[in-house]
Chains A and B, each alone.
Chain A
């Protein structure tokens, strides 16, 4: 009562077109479904895929939904590693029990967008989309994670995540990312992301840093500034040599800032010198990005060692 009526009694019904959707219950069934329908597209959380569908950029002839494959929605332990199901959602990875295992991945998952996206988006989807700003990617690069890929006939093969992201190895037709093998390092790990705002947003730059006390190593990856995460290997080795691993992982305070600069210069190098030997200055926006990476790397190392 008192409400404005809907325009002229027109209804709000709209018919929907039917679409072929398969909902397999196991990884092998899913692979079989993909093999049977080569035009089908696998979909997990759909946070990237459905946006492409809705905008008309993608019109899959059929969909293979991965949401009912319970074997890839959890994780298991395997000789010092965790085997993470590709269907783990960001929301699940963000919880404290997961954070106790792989803190950096949990932090990345919590930062990966608003709750609606985190509830739907998955680890496997983050890898398959391979967006430069995918928050899980620098963490997986720093952890040197390996993908377990399921293929037709129950075949399994392993690919380092960095090989896939760099395009050195590709998924073949009918293959699916089943699991992600991540080492359990039992040491501090950090993921830091700069967005320029307080609410959820895409990273301007992100840094993941993990300590590997058994190998006395520091591994660091910088995300969002290049098509794939970048590893500043020299900076990692240099700073690992400065850490007193037997004495509470102590480090001279100056080394933190120097590490930040080292990482930033490695990832965003100075332009090549001109013929007369002079180095042209970086554009202001790039300079800011370099400063951002330096600050993130310094803070990440500081937090990991504190």
Chain B
């Protein structure tokens, strides 16, 4: 039942039982939460079909090599092996990739990154499949890897498309403008991995008509269906993607690279085929946050008002383009942050290397530049001797100001209000150094922390992201609402990745139709497209489509009544299954009005179009923007360089709160991902070889690393162009928190802190410093 939690509490004697929460603005609990907590929720890795075969993928041990020969004879001869496929067995398009199709399904002549797929095997046991994959003999001519993105410009092309994926030279204002005060900096951002809690997995089942069904944790099922169909040489109708439970998706799950071999093997063998990636494969295969090198020069006048920003931004895309072009657009467009900058000259490049592949991870592009421009603001404040928060206040953006891309900010931009909210929030008390007081020192409960060596620092950061796809992406979603027998059903191909879309869709229908019981159907590609689960799209476009469809059903339901009563449908309202007129005189039940009929409506939501950035990086490229201010308080052990984030106080521009509990959870998740990016998360590679692709070597934040997260203020200034006026909330805390933590460490240590994650040696204060 959808409202178990809400009705489980016995009512106080003598008082009416609380009505279960419903509609928008309440914390409707997720229906999946219980199954997920109890471990019964079916994820892709849990699927099973009678007579299935197991797949394994052979991956390159080299970051860059020429493939001289692939000998699959031994593998094929192994008992239990049913199929071995290489690039020669791809009947259709052999290239895949989001954004740009430049990644081969299986490497044929060259391997361009450590872990690139070369062949796949289907066998009757997972061990047999892995052993057979290992028995494939590949002769490599090892080539020198290009691992420094700065070398990529001069290096031999790693790919027929060349090493430069995109170059944006943004020119805005007067190039000769100069300020009284100039600060410069060089910043490096590491490679964050999305590290989904469940590794990639899937099941492919061949269909009698020669087609195939893919059961995968896809976040963009229709695009994946089209890519798969093209790869298999089939019509899109004969490939169906069924979305299973998604075990974590803060990025594009690298499901295409898994889906395609899976379906090929199922088509080849005529049997269901299952593939579950090991954690190591997951780290090697999926896309990461772009490691970035940034060079900045800020000019300001004597009062600290920004005059000009010059920057060079270099994104390491890895071997394939993926969504690097979009990431670069965000990085260049938001390179100055939510500040008014009259003159901006930003040059950005995304280049190919033989490093692990980069792609869409929450807050792509915007997170890297935020760390850099906020470091610059700290430098400027230090040089001017002004309080860092005060300096930021003098420069903040507001509605009506112009971005360096020439786009005027038309949406609410309450940046000053956000900053003041976190600034005025009381600071956490300093712990007393007595045995009675529990003081969690940097280094943890059994760590080596010593109170005498601990310094506290406070830092600020302001971040911004764009919502939905940018630069002319057709952002459309379609939803169907069906009402029958007092129960509403939503059909929409928006994937629930844990972001809470299912709950939101139920709330929207409850709000519009007054029907308590709302079901959301599972997603497959027989439904019309809703687009990818990314950049807060579904709250906006899919939520908007659900609302429109629900309103159309409402009109269908009320029109006959309104006609009968001689009033317009707007004067009738539906609550708790009853239809009443505005004056309360006329009343009937929904069941009666339905009269056994089934009502359906399908609607689309398509936000107003955007345009690509032109040759000078100018254009109205974004539909909407979201902002966030964070104040970080950290404790640093200045001898060991260990950092503990004590508290993050956050104020965010959310447009409208649709589900308070879900909203808080999204913010906490985002902030914690940012803590990881700031302190520990960096998938290290040496000469292109990934080191420690496991969860021991790659440190995710634990409960002890997560700070107290104080949501100080949620500014609800509705964005008129967004359905419900709500803004996407998940990405902007990820973007802002690493910069705030770096700023606080800077304040505690006086060190420059120009690299993320912050290494202990960068937070040590020695006698000479």
Q: Do A and B come from one complex?
A: yes
Using A55-B278, A193-B446 as known contacts, say yes or no to A199 and B32 having CB atoms under 8 A apart.
Answer: no
Using A2-B518, A13-B48 as known contacts, say yes or no to A194 and B446 having CB atoms under 8 A apart.
Answer: no
CA distance A8 to B279 in the complex (A): 27
CA distance A11 to B42 in the complex (A): 9
CA distance A292 to B444 in the complex (A): 16
Min C-beta distance of B700 to chain A, whole Å: 9
Which chain B positions have C-beta within 8 A of A107?
446
B761 and A284 form a contact (CB under 8 A): yes
Q: Which of B280, B450, B521, B640 sits near A292, CB closer than 8 Å?
A: B640
Which chain A positions have C-beta within 8 A of B127?
56, 59
Q: Mask for B1-24, Cβ within 8 A of A = 1, else 0?
A: 110000000000000000000000
Using A4-B496, A196-B760 as known contacts, say yes or no to A10 and B47 having CB atoms under 8 A apart.
Answer: yes
Min C-beta distance of B635 to chain A, whole Å: 9
A111 and B446 form a contact (CB under 8 A): yes
Min C-beta distance of B741 to chain A, whole Å: 12
A1 and B1 form a contact (CB under 8 A): yes
Q: Which of B213, B444, B448 sits near A200, CB closer than 8 Å?
A: B444
A198 and B696 form a contact (CB under 8 A): no
Using A3-B35, A288-B641 as known contacts, say yes or no to A199 and B1 having CB atoms under 8 A apart.
Answer: no
B704 and A110 form a contact (CB under 8 A): no
Name the residue on A nearest B280 (C-beta).
Answer: A55
Using A7-B242, A291-B639 as known contacts, say yes or no to A111 and B46 having CB atoms under 8 A apart.
Answer: no
Which chain B positions have C-beta within 8 A of A11?
48
B443 and A7 form a contact (CB under 8 A): no
Which chain A positions have C-beta within 8 A of B639?
291-292, 295
Which chain A positions have C-beta within 8 A of B641?
196, 288, 292
Q: Which of A5, A204, A299 sits near B450, CB closer than 8 Å?
A: A299
Q: Which of B278, B450, B644, B760 sits near A288, CB closer than 8 Å?
A: B760
CB proximity to A under 8 Å, residues B28-52: 31-32, 35, 42, 46-49
CB proximity to B under 8 Å, residues A27-66: 55-56, 59
Name the residue on A nearest B496 (C-beta).
Answer: A4
B705 and A197 form a contact (CB under 8 A): yes
Min C-beta distance of B487 to chain A, whole Å: 9
Which chain B positions have C-beta within 8 A of A193?
443, 446-448
Which chain B positions have C-beta within 8 A of A14?
48
CA distance A114 to B703 in the complex (A): 11
Which chain B positions have C-beta within 8 A of A284?
761
Q: Is the interface of A mostly helix, strand, loop or mixed?
A: loop
Q: Which of A2, A7, A111, A299 sits near B215, CB closer than 8 Å?
A: A7
Is residue A195 contacting chain B, with contact meaning CB distance below 8 A? yes
Which chain A positions have C-beta within 8 A of B434?
none
Is residue B662 contacting chain A, with contact meaning CB distance below 8 A? no
Is residue B304 contacting chain A, with contact meaning CB distance below 8 A? no
Is residue A285 contacting chain B, with contact meaning CB distance below 8 A? yes
Q: Which of B440, B519, B766 sits near A1, CB closer than 8 Å?
A: B519
CA distance A12 to B43 in the complex (A): 9
Is residue B502 contacting chain A, with contact meaning CB distance below 8 A? yes
A291 and B766 form a contact (CB under 8 A): yes
Which chain B positions have C-beta within 8 A of A197?
443-444, 642, 679-680, 699, 705
Min C-beta distance of B581 to chain A, whole Å: 30
CA distance A194 to B643 in the complex (A): 11
Using A3-B32, A56-B127, A299-B448 as known contacts, say yes or no to A202 and B696 having CB atoms under 8 A apart.
Answer: yes
Min C-beta distance of A159 to chain B, whole Å: 29
Q: Which of A8, A12, A196, A198 sits near B440, CB closer than 8 Å?
A: A198
CA distance A11 to B642 in the complex (A): 47
Q: Which of A8, A56, A197, A291 has the most CB of B within 10 A?
A: A197
CA distance A100 to B523 in the complex (A): 59
B447 and A12 form a contact (CB under 8 A): no
Is residue B104 contacting chain A, with contact meaning CB distance below 8 A? no
Q: Which of A2, A6, A295, A299 sits near B2, CB closer than 8 Å?
A: A2
Which chain B positions have C-beta within 8 A of A59?
127
Is residue A102 contacting chain B, with contact meaning CB distance below 8 A? no
Min C-beta distance of A214 to chain B, whole Å: 27
Is residue B244 contacting chain A, with contact meaning CB distance below 8 A? yes
Min C-beta distance of B273 to chain A, whole Å: 13
CA distance A59 to B35 in the complex (A): 33
Min C-beta distance of A184 to chain B, whole Å: 22
A288 and B761 form a contact (CB under 8 A): yes
Name the residue on A nearest B203 (C-beta).
Answer: A10
B522 and A198 form a contact (CB under 8 A): no
Is residue B225 contacting chain A, with contact meaning CB distance below 8 A? no
CA distance A284 to B769 in the complex (A): 14
Which chain B positions have C-beta within 8 A of A288?
641, 760-761, 764
Q: Report the interface size class on chain A.
A: 35 or more
CA distance A291 to B767 in the complex (A): 12
Which chain B positions have C-beta within 8 A of A10?
42, 47-49, 203, 215
B642 and A199 form a contact (CB under 8 A): no
CA distance A198 to B641 in the complex (A): 12
Is residue A192 contacting chain B, with contact meaning CB distance below 8 A? yes
Q: Mask for B501-535, Cβ within 8 A of A = 1, else 0?
A: 01000100000000001111111000000000000
Q: Which of B279, B522, B699 sits near A5, CB closer than 8 Å?
A: B522
Min C-beta distance of A291 to chain B, whole Å: 7
Name the residue on A nearest B704 (C-beta).
Answer: A199
Q: Which of A12, A201, A295 sits near B47, CB closer than 8 Å?
A: A12
Using A1-B519, A4-B32, A5-B522 as known contacts, say yes or no to A195 and B443 having CB atoms under 8 A apart.
Answer: yes
CA distance A59 to B126 in the complex (A): 13
Name the residue on A nearest B242 (C-beta).
Answer: A7
Q: Mask for B745-769, Cβ within 8 A of A = 1, else 0?
A: 0000000000000011100101000
Is residue A296 contacting chain B, with contact meaning CB distance below 8 A? yes
Is residue B688 contacting chain A, with contact meaning CB distance below 8 A? no
Name the residue on B nearest A204 (C-beta).
Answer: B760
Min C-beta distance of A285 to chain B, whole Å: 7
CA distance A2 to B30 in the complex (A): 10
Min C-beta distance of B21 to chain A, whole Å: 14
Which chain B positions have C-beta within 8 A of A4?
32, 496, 502, 520-523
Which chain A positions have C-beta within 8 A of B337?
none
CA distance A201 to B704 in the complex (A): 11
Name the residue on A nearest B701 (C-beta).
Answer: A199
Min C-beta distance of A280 to chain B, whole Å: 19
Name the residue on B nearest A260 (C-beta).
Answer: B639
A199 and B448 form a contact (CB under 8 A): no
Q: Which of A2, A292, A299 sits near B506, CB closer than 8 Å?
A: A2
CA distance A7 to B48 in the complex (A): 10
B448 and A7 form a contact (CB under 8 A): no
A114 and B702 form a contact (CB under 8 A): yes
Min C-beta distance of A193 to chain B, whole Å: 6
Is residue B357 contacting chain A, with contact meaning CB distance below 8 A? no
Name the residue on B nearest A291 (C-beta).
Answer: B764
A56 and B130 form a contact (CB under 8 A): yes
Q: Which of B130, B242, B704, B760 has the most CB of A within 10 A?
A: B760
Min C-beta distance of B247 to chain A, whole Å: 14
CB proximity to A under 8 Å, residues B667-719: 679-680, 696, 699, 701-705
B760 and A292 form a contact (CB under 8 A): yes
A7 and B47 form a contact (CB under 8 A): yes
Is residue B655 contacting chain A, with contact meaning CB distance below 8 A? no
Using A56-B127, A284-B761, A288-B760 as known contacts, say yes or no to A6 and B42 having CB atoms under 8 A apart.
Answer: yes
Q: Which of A2, A3, A194 sits near B447, CB closer than 8 Å?
A: A194
Q: Which of B213, B447, B517 has the most CB of A within 10 A?
A: B447
Is residue B442 contacting chain A, with contact meaning CB distance below 8 A? yes
Q: Mask for A180-213, Cβ within 8 A of B = 1, else 0?
A: 0000000000001111111111101000000000
Known interface pairs A11-B48, A194-B642; 4 further A-B residue pairs with C-beta atoms within 8 A, sorted by A's residue number: A55-B278, A198-B440, A288-B760, A296-B448
Report the 10 A-B pairs with minimum CB-CB distance, sorted nearest first.
A199-B702, A288-B761, A111-B446, A192-B448, A12-B46, A199-B704, A6-B42, A2-B2, A4-B522, A295-B639
Q: Can you list 20 pairs linking A and B with CB atoms under 8 Å apart?
A: A1-B519, A2-B517, A2-B520, A4-B32, A4-B520, A10-B215, A11-B48, A12-B46, A111-B444, A192-B447, A194-B640, A196-B642, A197-B642, A197-B705, A199-B701, A201-B699, A287-B761, A295-B639, A296-B640, A299-B450
